[in-house]
């Protein structure tokens, strides 16, 4: 089957070296090198006929491992440009974990961050971990939410370009977070998402109660959101793209036509179709075959 191998780097000068190593990986698994197609100054698409794409992917990981290069190997099946993007928020579309930053305002960041790290690595149950962390915020003035957003929340590089480009070319973009709707509403508006889904912190008397509305949006709910959006658009899962960094993203990453791990925990990166470790979120556009001149800023 014909596959598109996309190489993306932050350093255009090493693109040729990455290409040479990719050629070595192709020969190693007896795949066939077809053609080159530049996507940008630091992004190259190569056509490869591969009977065993899983073996080729493993060979590419070995050959490219010490270079600051991200790659994606995807079948040329007419569904490269996706019609639905479902994205995680914390540490994916934005550069922080909002719950950890809120905990700093409550003086418990160290404790909360430790639990967050274990939950995102899949070591403990996400829903229980969320309840435990939110309980530590009891009594925090509700005004801390806006202060946290203003002072500590920013879009990761390429987020706005990713969403605007995909929406311009007809895709629907949805933000799905195990965090809180106070933040997803604002982040979705800033980046241009069509819709957002998240958990809701319960407030009474101008302060957080230490509770979150049930049921909690976690791994299963993220997958359900992907499936519901897919059904509403009357498309197949092959036409979808999901991106995230934590264990609670694994189900949606596995179900999507292209599931990408962004700066992800090792267990998540190992199971994703592709990963972004070195470049920014515009690599998700290159992975779909978009050229730099098609990007919308």
Q: For the chain, what is the total number of helices (H) and then of strands (E)?
A: 12, 12
In the chain, DSSP assigns E strands to 2-9, 32-40, 43-49, 69-75, 84-87, 172-180, 195-199, 201-204, 207-212, 240-244, 258-262, 274-276
**Interatomic CA distance for residues 197 and 183, integer angstroms:** 10
Active-site positions read 88, 90
What share of residues in the chain are helix, strand, coil (percent, to 5)? Answer: 45, 25, 30
Task: Tell me the CA distances in angstroms from 107 to 47, 135, 151, 213, 253, one per residue in order.
Answer: 53, 13, 16, 23, 34
> Nearest CA to 191 among 243, 225, 155?
155
Please give the backbone phi and psi of residue 285, each rounded to the nearest 5 degrees, phi first.
-75, -45
Of 31-35, 152-156, 184-188, give the lowest mean pLDDT range. 31-35
Q: Does 267 have pLDDT greater than 90? A: no
Q: Does 266 have pLDDT greater than 90? A: no
**Interatomic CA distance for residues 87 and 98, integer angstroms:** 16
What confidence score (pLDDT) does residue 265 get?
83
> Nearest CA to 177 among 229, 212, 222?
222
Q: The tokens of 288 are what?
A: 């779909």
Q: Does 156 have pLDDT greater than 90? A: yes
Domains of the chain: 1-77 (3.30.70.240), 80-297 (3.40.50.1000)
Q: Does 271 have pLDDT greater than 90? A: yes
**Interatomic CA distance for residues 273 and 205, integer angstroms:** 46
């Amino acid at each position: 089957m014909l596959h598109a191998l996309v190489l993306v780097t932050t350093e255009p000068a090493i693109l040729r070296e990455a290409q040479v190593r990719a050629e070595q990986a192709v020969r190693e698994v007896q795949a066939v090198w077809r053609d080159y197609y530049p996507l940008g100054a630091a992004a190259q698409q190569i056509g490869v006929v591969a009977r065993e794409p899983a073996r080729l992917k493993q060979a590419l990981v070995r050959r490219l491992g010490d270079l600051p290069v991200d790659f994606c190997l995807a079948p040329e099946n007419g569904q490269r440009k996706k019609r639905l993007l479902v994205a995680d928020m914390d540490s994916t579309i934005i550069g922080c974990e909002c719950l950890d930053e809120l905990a700093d305002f409550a003086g418990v960041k160290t404790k909360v961050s430790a639990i967050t790290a274990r939950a995102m690595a899949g070591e403990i149950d996400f829903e229980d971990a969320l309840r435990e962390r939110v309980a530590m915020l009891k009594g925090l003035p509700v005004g801390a939410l806006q202060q946290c957003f203003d002072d500590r929340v920013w879009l990761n590089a390429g987020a706005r370009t990713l969403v605007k480009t995909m929406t311009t070319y007809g895709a629907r973009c949805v933000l799905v977070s195990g965090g809180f709707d106070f933040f997803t509403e604002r982040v979705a508006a800033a980046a241009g998402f069509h819709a957002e889904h998240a958990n809701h912190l319960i407030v009474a008397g101008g302060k957080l109660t230490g509770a979150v509305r049930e049921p909690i949006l976690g791994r299963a709910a993220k997958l359900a959101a992907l499936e519901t959006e897919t059904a509403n658009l009357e498309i197949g899962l092959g036409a979808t793209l999901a991106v995230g960094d934590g264990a609670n993203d694994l189900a949606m990453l596995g179900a999507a036509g292209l599931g990408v791990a962004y700066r992800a925990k090792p267990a998540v990166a190992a199971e994703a179709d592709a990963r972004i470790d070195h470049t920014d979120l515009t690599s998700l556009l290159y992975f779909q075959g978009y050229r730099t001149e098609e990007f919308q800023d």
